Structure formats: structure tokens, C-alpha cells
Amino acid sequence: MEDIIVCENLKYSYPGQEGCAVNGVSFRVARGEFISVIGHNGSGKSTLARLINGLLEADEGNLTVLGMNVGEGKNAVEVRKHVGVVFQNPDNQMVASIVEDDIAFGPENIGVEREEIGRRIDWALSAVGMEKYRHATPARLSGGQKQRIAVAGVLAIKPDVLILDESTAMLDPKGRHEVIEVVRRLNKEEGMTIILITHFMEEALLADRTIVMNRGEIVLTGAPEEIFKQGEALETYNLSLPRISMIASELRAAGMEINNVLKPGELAAEIVKNFNRCGIFGGESSSPAPKEPESAGEWDIDIKSLAFTYSKKSPFATKALNGIDLHISDGEFFGIIGHTGSGKSTLVQHLNALIKLPQAEKKYHKPKAKKGQPVPVLPSVTVGQFDLSDKKTDFKALRASVGMVFQYPEYQLFAETVFADVAFGLKNFNKKLTDEEVERAVKDSLEIVGLNYEEVKDKSPFDLSGGQKRRVAIAGVIVTKPHILILDEPAAGLDPKGKREIMELLHKLHREWCKTVIIVSHDMDEVAENCTRVAVISNGSVFACDSPAALFTRSAELSALGLDVPLTAKISTYLGENGIIIHSDCTVKDFSEKVIEVYSGGADA
């Protein structure tokens, strides 16, 4: 089989930065091959994708794509007709004001006939499940919906090579599964060559071959099963062990014989074998201790009958919230999950009045009941002592107390220096602070997020790495020491180690002074490992609100909503089919302990 991509000793350094982003990389990709690329943030994965696509030109080495030397003449332009890249942030790829025009942009630029363009738009939208948004405005779509449109736009050019650079990071589990299935089908049925850059290990497993990058170099390559069997070796490259490997390791330490496995059903089968070997043909772990009901707290959040429509009274009207009723107690580490476009981001933007209730608007007039109709129910939101339906509420004080970190928080950066960026909100909320007090607060905030104050304070935030930018953005929110901290997909796009560090940081803030932390996430394992309670939002309403342990037993219902369940819940389901009942809180630690509890009890009997 011919090689469609050949890289030989490829090197590239970004101007003004020390070291090579890609350092002596050599590899070949055969036509029709499916390659997954994993590595820590900053390992060179995205730079490699841009080199292959001709968006960057290598400093040294040779790179040929479809027999064309990418560095010669106008070959890079020709290469882009055959190599499509879907980037992590869809906003970087949107060019038109209507979805169908955005998808048509690529085919038009490579000379596809008009009738064929129409067919390709239909096919691409169907492939990513976005048919009904054909005439929508991309700016009014959620982050996950935009990502699907970005994928469709690249699929429409029918490339020979499709590169996905963390392009499923912002999708819900169903959307992620649908996009990956499209990619697999293109690979298997149409022979399209796939390069999948991902931090989702279950996605990497689908490839024919996995490449591991570290500090600009390829350090491991081989079949994904062989790569992930190396376990602890991956940690030396700043990659965390997959959760399933962590569980297997814990069970081995307890004396169980567990082979290297990578799927929940396989691990469940290994556990059953161990139980049967010891004469255990069933068993049930102890149930988690019931939690005491929360008493009313100073910073409780109460939401009643919350509804919201974007572009109301216009042809683009889109109903985002449809009567939300929700209570979040003071002191919780609260999770919000839901399918793409369910209303999660719209909901949390109400909590610090970035989106105001109608009654709080200056020109608001109370609606009169129409003849024969009931009086309209008005929404209400209270956050601590703040009544967000009252025009007289001090919204500036509210926002100092309720910090918000958005999706892609690095896009909140705007100032010339890191110091000025972090200090901006603090100075805006409290103009009476002295220069010394501001400096001390900024220094403390940067060090809390793990950055060296002296090293970064005078740098431009735009010269920092992606992970550092995210930390600076978070520092700019926590510098006011808010009572409530809301984060919309705080760990999306980060490598496993980066995700763990961000969540450890949030728990540190929660323990020390931040009363309540609220995270919006598509990662069910992340929610299970960190949250005390979880609300499921579906089509603008609250579908359920419960502890992770109770919520994730409802796997069929969650699946119907386009959601997934944590790995531990999947394994528990398989075990339950064999009469082994595990009552865990869905964390890796508790699940492992509960399995060992049943195993030890049966083995000792």
C-alpha cells in the first residue's frame, strides 16, 4: 500500500520561542490508514497537523503529501485541497453568517459544481446530525453545535486525508460518538486516511496505530492496545493512566489476577473470573451512607420558572430555557450536564446576571394578563442575598461574588500584561484598593493557579502556552475571591494531567474559601469524580437532579438524552448481569474498594 504522507526528520520552531515545537519527527502514513496521536498539551501534536496541511512550513526535514513536497512552490495550496483539518475551536473556522454557506465555502473554493455542492451540504449535515440547522446562524449555536458544523465544512470538500485536532472536545457523548462513527465510516467505506489527535483514550483505541508525542518528539508508536498496556510508562510523558488501568492496578494490588484490558466489559469479565475462581458466584457491596439533607445556607441559589429565548420576536428566535426549577445549596461542588444545545451555558449565565431576568431590565413593564388567560408566571433567581429579579440589585457586587469562567477561558484575556489582565476585574470591583493591595492579590491569585508571579507578571498573556493562558484567565476571576465560582467546561481540551491539575485546583479553592463551585461538563467521569450532586438539563428543562451514585444508575434514560455514564457505572452494569452488585459513588477509588470488599468477604468465607 502506498504511503500518502512521508515525514523525515521534520523540525519546526515558532518565532520568538525557545526550543522546537516539532523536533526531528519521522513517520509514514499509508493510504487508508487510521492514526491516532496523543500527547500532553504542548507536545507538538497541533503543530504537526499544521505542517502536514501546509499551514506551517518546516524549518528542516522533508514532508511529502500525495507525492507533493509541501515546502516547494505552490504545493502547500494544492495539498490543502486534499488534506482537511478540523480544529479544536470551531469559531476559528466559521466564515459565513448562514450554516449552509459556511459548509459550501470549501467546495466552492476548490471548484466543485453547484449541484454537487448542494448534495455535499446535505450529506455533511446529515453525517454530523445537524440537518435542521441548515439555515441557522452559526453565531447563535452552542459551542458543541458549532463544532459539528466545522466538521461538516471539512467533510464537504471530501478530502483524501482528514485531520481532527481535538475536534470532539466540546461535544456531548452522543455527538462525539456520532462524529467518530462518521470518521470510521469514511475510513472503512471510502478509504479516507484519518489522523485523529485526541485526549480521549477510548477514541485513540479505534485507530490502526497510535503515535505518542512528548516535547516535540515521537516517543512511542504501535497498535493502541500495545501502547496502553505500557501503563506507567505513559505517565513519564505527562499522560495519565486511563481510568480502567487505574482500577485494574488497584485490584491487582488486592491480590486479584487481572489481565491488561481496555474496555469495561472486558474488565468486568476479569473480575467475574476472579470471583468464580474463589467460589464466589454473586455478592453485594455495602451501600453508601445516606447524606444528611442540606440546611439553608447563606449562599444558596434558588431558580424558579426560568425561561429564556434568544432573539425573541425575530425570525431567529431560539428557545434555550423552558421553565427551570433548581436549588443549589451553599457549599456544594455541583455539576451540570446535558446534551449539546440543552441550555447549560445559558442557565449559568443567569447566575451572575450576564443574562438578566426580564424584570431586572430598565425598560421592563409588567405584562398584563390577557382576557381568559392566567397571569404569566415570572421567573425568579436568588443568589445568596441577591434578588436577580429586582432592578435595584447591586449587580456589580453580585458579579464580584459570583465568578464566571467561560468555555475557552483563554479568550477572556485582553490586556498587554498578565498583571494588568488579572488585576482588571479586581480594580473594577473595588476602586479603593491601594497599589500594594492589588499587587498582593494578583500575586496570590497567580500562585494559587500554579504560575510563578515574577516569571509571568510582565509577559503578554498571548505569549503564554495554552495551559498557562487558561490558568491566567482563572486567576483573573478568582482574584476577587468570589463566594461562588462557575466554570463552563473548565478542563475541555486539556490532556489528562492538565484536567487532573485543574480539578485539584478547584477543590483547593473550594476547601479554602470558595463556598460553592459549579462546573458544566460533558465528561461524565469528571462529574462523577468531583461533584456532590448533578443536574441533568435537557431541552431547556431539568430532567433530573441527584447524587452521581443515584443518577448514573439511570444509564438507559441518560443514553436517550445523548449522554453517557462513567466507566465505573458501565462496569457495574456488566457485573450486575452476573449477580455481583456494586454500590459505589462512581469514583474510581470507591468502586475499586467496593469490588475488593465483596471479593475479600467471599474469599474469607
d(CA 70, CA 55): 10
Could you tell me the pLDDT band of residue 199, with boundaries at 50, 70 and 90?
confident
d(CA 10, CA 23): 6
The answer to which of 44-53, 240-249, 285-294, 330-339 has the lowest mean pLDDT is 285-294
Q: What is the DSSP letter of 462?
A: G
pLDDT value at residue 603: 55
Instruction: List, for residues 532-559, the tens digit of each pLDDT value.
Output: 999 999 999 999 999 999 999 999 999 9
d(CA 402, CA 482): 5
- Is residue 320 within 8 Å of 540, Cβ to Cβ? yes
Q: Is the dihedral of CA 510, 511, 512, 516 positive or negative?
A: positive
Summarize the confidence of residues 271-298 as an average pLDDT. Answer: 80
Alpha helices in 523-566 (DSSP H): 524-530, 548-551, 555-560
Give the CA-trace dihedral at 174, 180, 186, 187, to 10 degrees. Answer: -150
For residues 64 and 283, the model is more confident at 64
Which cell is 31 given?
A: 493510504
Summarize the confidence of residues 95-102 as an average pLDDT. Answer: 93
- Is residue 364 within 8 Å of 392, Cβ to Cβ? no
Average pLDDT value over all residues in the chain: 90
d(CA 491, CA 514): 19
Of the spans 117-126, 232-241, 287-296, 491-500, which averages the highest pLDDT? Answer: 117-126
d(CA 551, CA 535): 9
pLDDT value at residue 273: 95
**Cell match 404569566: residue?**
376
d(CA 442, CA 576): 51
Percent of the chain with pLDDT strictly greater than 70: 97
Q: Which CATH number among 3.40.50.300, 3.40.50.1000, 3.40.50.720, 1.10.1060.10 corresponds to the domain 3-235?
A: 3.40.50.300
- Number of Cβ within 10 Å of residue 524's Cβ equals 26
3-state secondary structure 233-260: HHHCCCCCCCHHHHHHHHHHHCCCCCCC
Which cell is 38 given?
A: 496523543
Strand boundaries in 465-507, DSSP class E: 484-488
Summarize the confidence of residues 212-241 as an average pLDDT. Answer: 86
Q: What is the DSSP letter of 44?
A: S
Instruction: List, for residues 112-146, the tens digit of each pLDDT value.
Output: 999 999 999 999 998 888 899 999 988 878 767 88
Q: What is the distance, to the nearest Å, from the Cα of residue 497 to the centroid of all Cα atoms in its chain?
A: 14
Could you tell me the pLDDT band of residue 34, with boundaries at 50, 70 and 90?
very high
Alpha helices in 65-113 (DSSP H): 75-79, 99-109
What residue segments make up the domains of the chain, in order of their start? 3-235, 243-289+567-604, 301-360+376-546
Q: What is the distance, to the nearest Å, from the Cα of residue 604 to the centroid of all Cα atoms in its chain?
A: 43
Which cell is 105 given?
A: 465555502
d(CA 595, CA 581): 9
Which cell is 325 given?
A: 426549577
**3-235 and 301-360+376-546, same CATH topology:** yes
d(CA 163, CA 186): 12
Could you tell me the pLDDT band of residue 605, with boundaries at 50, 70 and 90?
very low
Q: Which CATH number among 1.10.3210.10, 2.130.10.10, 3.30.70.20, 3.40.50.300 corresponds to the domain 301-360+376-546?
A: 3.40.50.300
Which cell is 427 given?
A: 480594580
d(CA 134, CA 525): 33
End-to-end CA distance of the chain: 59
Q: 454-471 burial, b for 16+ CB within 10 Å, e for fewer?
A: eebbeeebeebebbbbbb
